[in-house]
């Protein structure tokens, strides 16, 4: 026991004297959490809460244009503004604002839209009432609502704007279709009744055809309910903070392999390990002492990142990191992750022959494991082959466990599979390390 404690004390003294290594272990993940969260926070808000801003130029001003404008301005996802600084926006003003970066796009309703829509819808309804089942060819002279995007706007935002426009156009077309369908039906029935009833036709046709249209035709008959799977009481949306704090904390914890493997290689190269083994202390005690010391560093590192998410990020304008009722479960996942990280660091320090090998293999392998594990890109957005490969990443196991606790409101019973994989990885790495050490001559 005393030998184990002495080994831990030795490792802590070496770590405290390595100021550069401490900066790498603590400032690097903290900086990553702050920078990446701030960058991603506004993106997530725009796709889930903030509005995409654009101008709306109405060169028509007719009834159809008014219906279209009303539908666009009522949308909560994309903001369409017709008035700027107290004046209606014209095409030149809108183009200048997009070019200067004040807006992401502008939409222009052409002059003559109302007349063109009325003519086309009336002709279509006349053909329908007359019993013609085939629609006329649309032709090439359809009125066109032009949307002009800033070249930097990505496709996801363009798709959102186009979807809103298509929805508004569908509302306008439906309203006009109902209006002219009613007119065509009434006229057609009057003609038929007049042919059959003669002089009594005016009194009969007054009550035959109800007026179609109005607000009653726009009232929804089906609604949409958006819910999360899992616990019904847990409806917290996954923010950039909830995603990035545990993700980049894991990334920083696994970077413990750099100083840990370097320490092992340095002790082996300078003969320190050989001299320690001459003393009445086993290889297992030395390795376990080193492992305990660095696992403790990982836990302190994790707690520091959680504090950054809890207290610093809200001061910079983001949401606070919410632990909920899963503090102890998070510590268990963090401990298993720390053991997996230190186990890999010891394995790398034992297998690598030089500091150069460990300095290249360690960071590169951690970056690859992080990329595969969903730290940088969500796993579901990867190709199928990469999704299969990602299941072998320890960072994927740990990250999925954290997401189950923080976003899906799971407990330890829901993450026991990931914890088992992390502990098996740790056991395998430690076992291989002790086996190599036992067979190597010092």
Please report where in the chains the tokens 């720390």 appear, as a residue: 338
Q: What does each C-alpha distance from 355 to 123, 342, 429, 441 come to in angstroms?
A: 81, 17, 19, 19
Mean pLDDT of the region 209-215: 51
Among 53-62, 164-173, 178-187, 382-391, the least confident range? 178-187
Domain ranges of the chain: 2-44+243-439, 51-218
Q: Say what the pLDDT of residue 340 is.
A: 95
DSSP secondary-structure letter at 309?
A: I
pLDDT at residue 259 greater than cutoff 90: no
CB within 8 Å of 45: residues ≥ 6 apart = none
Among 89-98, 266-275, 309-318, 357-366, the least confident range? 266-275
- Token digits of residue 133: 């089942």
Of the two residues 441 and 30, the one the predictor is more confident about is 30
List, for residues 285-317, the tens digit of each pLDDT value.
777 878 888 898 899 999 999 999 889 888 888
Q: What percent of the chain has a predicted confidence (pLDDT) above 70? A: 70
Q: Say what the pLDDT of residue 71 is.
A: 87
pLDDT at residue 176 greater than cutoff 90: no
CA distance 419 to 340: 10
- 51-218 CATH pick, 2.40.50, 3.40.50, 3.40.190, 3.20.20: 3.40.190
What values do phi and psi take at 386, rounded to 5? -70, -35
Q: Across the strands, what pairs with 108?
A: 57, 146
Pick the closest to residue 257 from 145, 377, 341, 134 (CA basis).
Answer: 341
pTM tops 0.75:
no
Instruction: Output the average pLDDT for the chain.
Output: 78
Beta carbons of 323 and 334 less than 8 angstroms apart: no
Mean pLDDT of the region 346-365: 86
Mean pLDDT of the region 125-129: 72
Mean pLDDT of the region 123-151: 70
Q: Say what the pLDDT of residue 2 is.
A: 65
């Amino acid at each position: 026991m005393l030998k184990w404690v002495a080994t831990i004390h030795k490792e802590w003294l070496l770590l405290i004297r390595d100021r550069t290594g401490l900066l790498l272990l603590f400032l690097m993940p903290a900086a990553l959490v702050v920078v990446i969260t701030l960058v991603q926070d506004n993106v997530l808000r725009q796709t889930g809460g903030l509005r995409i801003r654009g101008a709306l130029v109405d060169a028509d001003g007719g009834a159809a244009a008014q219906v279209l404008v009303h539908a666009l301005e009522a949308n909560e996802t994309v903001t369409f503004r017709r008035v700027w600084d107290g004046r209606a926006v014209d095409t030149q003003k809108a183009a200048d604002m997009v070019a200067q970066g004040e807006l992401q796009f502008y939409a222009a309703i052409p002059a003559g839209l109302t007349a063109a829509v009325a003519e086309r819808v009336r002709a279509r309804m006349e053909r329908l009432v007359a019993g013609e089942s085939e629609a006329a060819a649309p032709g090439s002279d359809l009125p066109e609502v032009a949307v002009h995007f800033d070249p930097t706007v990505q496709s996801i935002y363009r798709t959102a704007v186009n979807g809103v426009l298509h929805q508004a156009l569908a509302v306008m077309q439906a309203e006009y279709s109902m209006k002219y369908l009613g007119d065509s039906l009434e006229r057609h029935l009057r003609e038929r009744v007049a042919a059959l009833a003669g002089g009594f036709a005016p009194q009969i046709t007054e009550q035959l055809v109800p007026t179609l249209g109005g607000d009653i035709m726009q009232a929804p008959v089906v609604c949409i309910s958006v819910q999360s799977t899992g616990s019904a009481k847990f409806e917290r949306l996954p923010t950039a903070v909830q995603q990035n704090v545990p993700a980049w904390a894991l990334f920083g914890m696994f970077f413990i392999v750099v100083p840990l493997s370097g320490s092992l290689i340095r002790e082996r190269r300078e003969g320190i390990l050989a001299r320690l083994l001459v003393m009445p202390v086993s290889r297992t005690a030395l390795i376990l002492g080193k492992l305990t010391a660095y696992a403790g560093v990982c836990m302190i590192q994790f707690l520091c990142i959680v504090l950054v998410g809890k207290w610093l990020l809200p001061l910079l304008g983001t949401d606070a990191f919410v632990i909920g009722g899963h503090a102890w479960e998070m510590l268990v996942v963090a401990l298993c992750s720390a053991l997996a990280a230190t186990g890999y660091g010891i394995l790398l320090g034992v297998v690598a022959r030089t500091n150069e090998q460990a300095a290249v293999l360690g960071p590169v392998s951690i970056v690859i494991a992080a990329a595969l594990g969903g730290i940088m890109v969500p796993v579901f957005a990867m190709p199928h082959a990469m999704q299969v490969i990602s299941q072998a990443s320890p960072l994927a196991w740990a990250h999925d466990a954290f997401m189950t606790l923080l976003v899906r409101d799971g407990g330890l019973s829901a993450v026991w599979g990931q914890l088992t994989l992390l502990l098996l990885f740790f056991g395998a790495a430690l076992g291989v390390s002790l086996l190599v050490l036992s067979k190597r001559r010092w």
